[in-house]
Amino acid sequence: MGLSPRTAGKTAARASHSPAARAFLGKIEPFFAGEEVSGGPMLLAALAALICFNSPFGAGFARLWDTPVSISFGKITIAQSLAEWINDALLPLFFIIIGAEVKREIVAGELARWRTASLPLFGALGGMLVPIALFVLINAPTGSVRGWGTVVASDTAFGLGVVAMFGTRLPTGVRALLLAFAAIDDVGGLGVIAIAYTEHVAIVGLLVAAGCLAGMVALRAIGWVSTLPYILLAVLAWAGVFVSGVHPTIAGVLIGAVAAVYPRFSPEHFSDAIQHRVDQFQAAHRSSRDGDDALGRREAQDRSENRLGYLQEMAHATDRPSGRLIGLLNPWVSYLVLPLFALSNVRVPLSAAMLDGAIHSPIAIGIVVGLVAGKPLGFVGFTWLAEALGLAARPEGVTRAMMIGVGTLAGIGFTISLFIASIAFSRPQAMEEASLAILVASCLSGAIGYAILHRQACPA
What one-character-per-residue DSSP string does 172-200 give?
HHHHHHHHHHHHHHHHHHHHHHHHHS-S-
Residue 144 in contact with residue 372, Cβ under 8 Å?
A: no
Tell me if 120 sits within 8 A of 154, measured CB to CB. Answer: no
Phi, psi of 3 (to 5 degrees): -75, 155
Residue % of the chain over a pLDDT of 70: 88
Question: When comparing pLDDT for 56 and 166, which is higher?
Answer: 56
pLDDT at 2: 46
Treating both helix axes as pointing N-terminal to C-terminal, what angle do 249-258 and 91-108 enclose, rounded to 10 degrees? 40
pLDDT range class, residue 9, cuts 50, 70, 90? low
Phi/psi of residue 202, nearest 5 degrees = -90, 110
Q: What is the pLDDT of residue 244?
A: 86
pTM above 0.75, yes or no: yes
Short-list 164, 167, 163, 136, CA closest to 152: 136
Q: What is the predicted pLDDT for the residue at 111?
A: 64
- The reported pLDDT for the residue numbered 138 is 93
> Are 449 and 166 contacting, i.e. CB atoms less than 8 angstroms apart?
no
Contact 256, 100 (CB under 8 A): yes
> Residues 425-444: what's their mean pLDDT?
87
Q: State percent of the chain over pLDDT 90.
A: 24
Distances (CA, A) of 8 to 225, 257, 457: 33, 29, 18
State residue 150's pLDDT score.
87
- What is the average pLDDT value for the chain, to the nearest integer? 82
**What's the start-to-end Cα distance of the chain, in Å?**
15
- pLDDT for 392-415, tens place per residue? 888 888 888 999 999 999 898 887
Which band of pLDDT confidence, cut at 50, 70 and 90, is reported for residue 192? Answer: confident
Distance CA 410, CA 160 (A): 10
The model's confidence at residue 20, banded by pLDDT at 50, 70 and 90, is low
